Amino acid sequence: MKKTIKLTISKMNGQFTVDDISRPGSPLVGRGRTMKEAIGDYFHNNQTEFGISFEVDKSASKAELRRRARELSKR
């Protein structure tokens, strides 16, 4: 039987956050401007735990590199 994960989605400081309440005391692990983005961030941050991995195809890699450069320039 698979373990059920219960996530709480909240809004803090203008962004959505995802918290895994089945793991008390763990930090918020998903953040985003939208609920979908925050949930995606949660799974991206926990991919090892769920046994999934994300591979960025060549068709998306240039756009991802530009996005990362934009985010780094904001810091």
Contacts of 42 (CB under 8 A, 6+ apart): 7, 18, 20, 29, 30
Determine the pLDDT at residue 38.
96
Residue 65 pLDDT more than 80?
yes
Residue with more model confidence, 75 or 44: 44
Place of tokens 């008390």: 24
- Which residues have CB under 8 Å from 47's CB, separation 6+? 53, 54
pLDDT in tens, 6-36: 899 999 999 999 998 887 777 768 999 999 9
Q: What is the pLDDT at residue 1?
A: 67
Q: Choose between 55 and 36: higher pLDDT.
A: 36
pTM score of the predicted model: 0.70
Q: Where are the domains of the chain?
A: 7-73
Give dist(CA 69, CA 51) in Å, integer. Answer: 28
Which is more confidently placed, 15 or 74?
A: 15
Query: Measured between alpha carbons, how far is 57 from 67 in angstroms, rounded to an integer?
Result: 15
d(CA 22, CA 59): 37
